[in-house]
Structure 1
Amino acid sequence: MSGYDQTLEPFLWRAEAIHSDREIVARTHEGINRYTYGEYADRARQLANALDALGIEEGDRVGTFCWNHDRHFETYFGVPNMGAQLHTINPLLPDSHIQYIVEDAADRVIFVDPSLAEKLAAAYDPDAFESVEQFVVIGDEVPDVSLEPLTDYESFIADQSTEYDWPDLDQEDMAGMCYTSGTTGKPKGVEYTQQMMWSHTMAMLTPQGLGIEDSDVVMPIVPMFHVNAWGMPFAATAAGAKQVFPGPAPDPADIAQLIEDEGVTITAGVPTVWLGLLEYAAENEVDLSSLERVVIGGAAAPKAVIEQFDDLGVEVVHAWGMTETSPVGAVAHLTDEMERAPYGTQVDKRSKQGLIVPGLEFKVVGDDGEEIAWDGEAFGELLIRGPWVTTEYHERPEANETDFEGSWLRTGDIVTVDEEGYIEIVDRADDVIKSGGEWISSQELENAIMSHEAVSEAAVIGVPHERWQERPVAMVVVPETTDRDQLTEELKAMLREEYPKWWLPDGFEFIDEIPKTATGKFSKMDLREQYAGEELLEEDAPADAAPDED
């Protein structure tokens, strides 16, 4: 006989029963909010009662349009524990994508932050939002925006009981939903069952995951609308850890202050967040002594960032995942053997996407469909499967036919695997550059360029070439005072030492900012569109540097 169904409710029960006095802290527009798991559990039950009173039933979708704060966190357990499906909506998406997502998900309620109410109102379309029966502003006042019917959160839950009998749910019931960023078409909806979210949470608690413990103070900078803040709020609750939510648009000063004031031990976000914090720390008196681990995801962890945090006594944990993998699939921990390796070797391993998390399986296949060797040189597309990896998209049969191979998810990531099993992404399938019949990793060039101390950001794109099909061009962001001609020569010389000449960018274009997707990743699609008509290849560039002529 199988055990009891794997659902989220026991995580909340345990936090309330064993860690009732542990704090939950949030930075808001009004200041710092703080309360305990005991008080949190009461409010989650009030929220469930309020949704019941509204007529929300098991299987209905409840949307959120919010930043990282305590009231958003209340929906994380209040909604799925009652059997409804929590749908976190990315407020940074274009209006047309928001309209598509709300219509496709058929949300019945949407919770929205006051600072985002105008954004949601601007995206409002009566046809796309036809399913929405109630908008709830997270606060105690109702802003003057064209969203109907509209109420405030505190009034919505105020008269509700703090007692609620959570239903006995099936582990196959849907608990969450998140949409991909849709950089190459319409966003694709990924649904998470109770069991998917339970198993992902359990994996994050292991040392091979993120190793979150009850002694930790956890602060996700990664948005709560992006794959549930990488699952950290669920894992922190399961562990009984103190949680800190940084609120709307935290800048480096806000992040540093919260780390110091609240004793944050583990935090997570994309590389640009940590570049900003390191720059701020270099220019200001900052106490990061409590900080033990920084989880970097969403883009490759630059080696320079790893080394700078090492100098501060802070471990960088590089993690990889996708919306489709709930999201964490690999983490770059050092194996026992690597713990005894030279420091340079350790940094190389830690900058890779890492080792597959226990519970998942992967394979890498070449163009011929055969699995590649684990030698750190051969590369192919990464396929992955496991209990928290989706096997289909919501209402997207055409994508289901191309993006899945039986139980395997085709990730679209082009990777190598070394002898120790460390996965390294060399490119996205859409971003790899084909020159003279051979592949060039744009991501590897980007990481090398960003290792130069003068470079803030860099993206490498392929531009059409009459003879070689495509050639790489580097788009580089530097401070205004930088001598760009000198830096160009330095970058060329640096790259020549490490790569064959046919890999070297045929041009270096200095721009103000690399465009980002709604989840903070470099948007090469936007770069290619923005500079489609530009003459980016240098007149004296060695564009005849083909692989067979190197």
Structure 2
Amino acid sequence: MVTTKLIPRTPEAVEPPLLIKSILAQSLRYEPQREIIYRDLFRMNYVEFNKRVRRLANMLTGLGIAPGDTVAVLDWDSHRYLECFFGVTSMGAVLHTVNVRLSPAQILYTMNHAQDKVVLIHEDFLPILTAIKDQLTTVEKYVILYDKVYTDLNAVGQVPAGFSCEYEAALRDESDEYDFPDFDENTWATTFYTTGTTGNPKGVYFSHRQLFMHTMGLSTFVCGYQAVPFSSTADVYMPITPMFHVHAWGFPFLATLLSAKQVYPGRYEPEVLLKLLLSEGVTLSHCVPTILTMLVNSPVAKQVDLSRWKVIIGGSALTKGLAKAALELGIQVYQGYGMSETAPIMALTQLNDTERPLPIDEQVDYRTRAGRVAPFVDIRLMDDDGNFVPHDGHSLGEVVARGYWMTQGYYEDPERGADLWKGGWLHTGDVASVTPDNWLIIADRTKDVVKTGGEWVSSLDIENLLSQIDGVAETAVVGLPDERWGERPHALVVLKPGTDLTADSIRQMLRDRIEADHLNKWYLPDRILFVAEIPKTSVGKIDKKRIRTDMKDQILNT
């Protein structure tokens, strides 16, 4: 430890803690008349939003929530969820954003493990609650969330048996005065659960300081360095990534800080998403590749002007084929990189003055990289022996990271937490290179690299080649056991409607491309299987574990 000289402190001086309530306070300072919108059901400005956040805090206090207690939310992306982001955390309680796409048994585990005390639940998820309610061990109160209360006044106040209140009616009965207290900035603010390849879901947690710093880092990157240009005066934000998934990648905090116009679409329905996109002038969204694939392949997409829409892709790799298809529709598409454990932003597409004027075909290579390493994030590459690998754009190593907003472990799971932070660096499990000018280029997940004939072949590289074949809508590549070569790549392919491609024709096009680009012959998959859809995880990522296990026999016997 270096010996330094600390600044003298005056006993009366105050250094305010970095709290989420400070982000909320900014929303009233400059553009409080801007709107927050929920589908075509509800609109409010930031003045009303701040009042509702305080009413929520009063409601939760009345239900027995005190600092340190956990409040669970099961809802679609909504203004109510945004209110919980600020109301629950700013009173010193912990917000548990429940992944409603998990199985009922997994949801039960996460709610008991998080020790949820009060549950806010949308009526659409009542069947889940019915299946697990008798096994919940810590929940004391339930609040029902209805959409119909915004269109049917008679619906307001309808409270199912066993519930304490209906959200909207309860808020209306509460005072909009609530003095959010100061407390230690390292106070636990949020928790959610991420599934791995084995064992129960892991509880990831973040403090007020970490979420405050993530918001500042994101602001620096997108507002300052213009990675994905975001302006409070020119942009309208709509997430197409669930708010239960890493706080919708942190953008609701940033949009609220800037008092930007926000649009929340509720349940993801293609016609509703497109309607809101056009009617509300949405300019910034983020989603997994599956959602963007669905939109760019829609006939409607070719009939409307999407040239103002910027989309950040995360969760799975953005292929060159999908990037080209989006750019040809005028959609400005970007790649983001991060993990649930990193809050999540670690890298994001950022074109500099030299790269920005390039033709679209030349930009694709940059836009499909993991991105430039974000401000205040320290990323290194590490070999199997724990040595750092040079950032020369060629050398590969596991991505390890440090930063102001990385989770410190897993809740009540010190063994997996120690493995995550082995050697004092957060281990991502991704293999990558880093260029001298700060571009992160993911080669593959360590468990997804195909080890064949003594060569390491990137499944992402093969997916990129397949995605650029006209008629291929979506693809996934996995390595499967091979007696001779150890492993060989196998591909699942979803074709666009009306396409007459065959496995042989795809293999020939791949062979031509591999020869033209002087790529290794190992990149040619042994088998190509056509499927109606690619298996996905609960957050929309390609589920390669499931492909390798549940579908292995189907692939090998085709």
Match of 2:29 among 11, 17, 38: 17
Q: Deviations over 1:285-334 (max 9, x none)?
A: 32335x24211111112223333333344322211111111111101111
Give the equivalent residue in structure 2 for 1:137.
Answer: 144
CA distance, structure 1, for counterparts of residue 314 and residue 555 of structure 2? 33
Give the letter aligned to residue 131 of structure 1. Answer: T
Residue 212 in 1 paired to residue 230 in 2? yes
Conservation of the 8 A alpha-carbon contact between 1:204 and 1:212:
no
Higher deviation after alignment, 200-209 or 420-429: 200-209
SS in 2 for 1:470: strand
Q: Distance in 2 between matches of 1:423 and 1:205?
A: 20
Alignment partner of 1:504 is 2:511? no
Counterpart in 1 of 2:286?
268
C-alpha distance in structure 2 between counterparts of 1:349 and 1:440, whole Å: 21
- 2 CA distance for matches of 1:345 and 1:417? 19
CA distance, structure 2, for counterparts of residue 404 and residue 412 of structure 1? 12
Q: Secondary structure at the match of 1:18?
A: coil
Residue type of the alignment partner of 2:144: V
1:96 is displaced (CA, Å) by: 1.8
Residue 414 of structure 1, CA deviation:
1.1
Q: Which moved more, 1:58-67 or 1:332-341?
A: 332-341
Distance between the aligned counterparts of 1:537 and 1:358, measured in 2?
Answer: 48
Is the Cα contact below 8 Å between 1:256 and 1:288 reproduced in 2? no
TM-score, with length taken from structure 1:
0.91
Offset, 1:156 = 2.9
How many pairs align? 531
Alignment partners' CA distance in 2, 1:226 and 1:381: 24
**516-525 or 95-104, which deviates more:** 95-104
AA partner of residue 536 (structure 1): L
Show CA shifts across 1:319-352 (max 9, x none). 1111111111101111234336565443212210
Partners of 1:201 and 1:92 in 2: CA distance: 26
Q: Secondary structure of 1:167's partner?
A: coil
Q: How far does residue 74 in structure 1 lie from its aligned partner after superposition?
A: 1.1
Structure 1, unpaired ranges of 5+: 539-550
Range that drifts further, 171-180 or 473-482 = 473-482
- 2:298 aligns with 280
Provide the residue aligned with 1:546 in structure 2.
none
Deviation at 1:388, TM superposition (A): 0.4
d(CA) in 2 for partners of 1:25, 1:120: 28
Q: How far apart in 2 are the matches of 1:442 and 1:265?
A: 32
Indicate the residue corresponding to 2:53 in structure 1. 44
1:487 aligns with 2:495: no
Counterpart pick for 1:175 among 150, 166, 189:
189
- Aligned twin of 1:457: 474
* 1:150 Cα deviation after fit: 5.0
SS in 2 for 1:240: coil
Q: Aligned ranges for residues 177-192 of structure 1 at < 5 Å?
A: 177-192=191-206
User: Which 5+ residue runs of structure 2 have no aligned equivalent?
Assistant: 1-8, 150-154
Q: Which residue type is aligned with residue 126 of structure 1?
A: D
**Per-residue deviation, 1:356:** 1.1
What's the offset of the Cα at 1:436? Answer: 2.3
For 1:387, the aligned partner's letter is: Y
SS in 2 for 1:400: helix
* Partner residue of 1:434 out of 451, 476, 481: 451
In the alignment, is the contact (CA less than 8 A) between 1:135 and 1:147 conserved in 2? Answer: no
| Aligned partner of residue 520 in structure 1, secondary structure | coil
1:257, distance to aligned residue in structure 2 (A): 1.4
Cα 1:439–1:108 change in 2 (3 A) is same
Q: CA deviation at 1:162?
A: 0.7
* Paired amino acid for 1:223: P
Contact 1:203-1:358 within 8 A present in 2 as well: yes
Q: Answer whether contact 1:365 1:380 (CA < 8 A) is retained.
A: yes
User: Which residue is 1:357 aligned to?
Assistant: 374
Distance in 2 (alpha carbons) for counterparts of 1:314 and 1:535: 35
2:326 and 2:333 in contact (8 A); partners too: yes
Cα deviation, 1:171-215, whole Å, max 9, x if unaligned, reads 101111121133443211111100111011111112345453221
Alignment partner, residue 434 of structure 2: 417
Specify the code of the residue in structure 1 equivalent to 2:319.
P
Offset of residue 374 of structure 1: 2.3
**In 2 relative to 1, CA 521–344 (structure 1 residues): closer, same or farther, beyond 3 Å?**
same
| Equivalent residue number for residue 393 of structure 1 | 410
Please tell me whether residue 5 in structure 1 is matched to residue 17 in structure 2: yes
Question: 381, 384, 396: which one pairs with 2:398?
Answer: 381
2:313 — aligned with what? 296
Partner AA of 2:545 in structure 1:
M
- Map 1:36-115; keep pairs closer than 5 Å: 36-115=45-124
8 Å contact from structure 2 (residues 284, 309) kept in 1: yes
Q: Equivalents in 2 of 1:431, 1:151: separation in Å?
A: 47
Distance 1:511 1:496 in 2: 27
Aligned-CA RMSD value: 2.3
Which piece of structure 1 moves more, 429-438 or 163-172? Answer: 429-438
In 2 relative to 1, CA 260–150 (structure 1 residues): closer, same or farther, beyond 3 Å? Answer: same
- Per-residue displacement from partner, 1:191-245 (whole Å, max 9, x unpaired)? 1100111011111112345453221211111111111111111100001100001
Cα separation, 2, equivalents of 1:491 and 1:468: 20
Q: CA deviation at 1:377?
A: 2.6
Between 108-117 and 47-56, the greater mean CA deviation after superposition: 108-117
Q: Distance in 1 between matches of 2:534 and 2:139?
A: 36
Q: Which moved more, 1:138-147 or 1:294-303?
A: 138-147
Task: Measure the CA separation in 1 of the matches of 2:197 and 2:532.
Answer: 21
Report the CA distance shift for 1:250/1:49 in structure 2 as closer, same or farther (over 3 A): same
- Report how far residue 478 of structure 1 moved: 1.1
One-letter code aligned to 2:26: R
**TM-score (structure 2 length as normaliser):** 0.90
Q: Displacement, 1:47?
A: 0.5
Q: What is the deviation of 1:523? A: 0.2
Residue 245 of structure 1 is aligned with which of 264, 272, 296?
264
Amino acid at match of 2:513: M
- The answer as to whether partners of 1:87 and 1:178 remain within 8 angstroms in 2 is yes
SS in 2 for 1:203: helix
Distance 1:284 1:343 in 2: 18
Tell me what 2:6 maps to. Answer: none
Query: Separation in 2 of the partners of 1:217 and 1:86?
Result: 26
Structure 2 CA distance for aligned equivalents of residues 277 and 143 of structure 1: 38
Q: Kindly provide the amino acid, as one letter, of the partner of residue 138 in structure 1.
A: L
Matching residue of 1:307: 324
Q: Could you tell me which of 311, 321, 337 is aligned with 2:338?
A: 321
2:246 paired residue number:
227
Output the CA distance in 1 between the equivalents of 2:142 and 2:420. 35
Q: Secondary structure at the match of 1:274?
A: helix
Deviations 1:417-448 (A, max 9, x none): 22322111111122111112321111221122
| Greater mean alpha carbon deviation, residues 315-324 or residues 371-380 | 371-380
Q: How does 1:507-522 map to 2 (within 5 A)?
A: 507-522=527-542
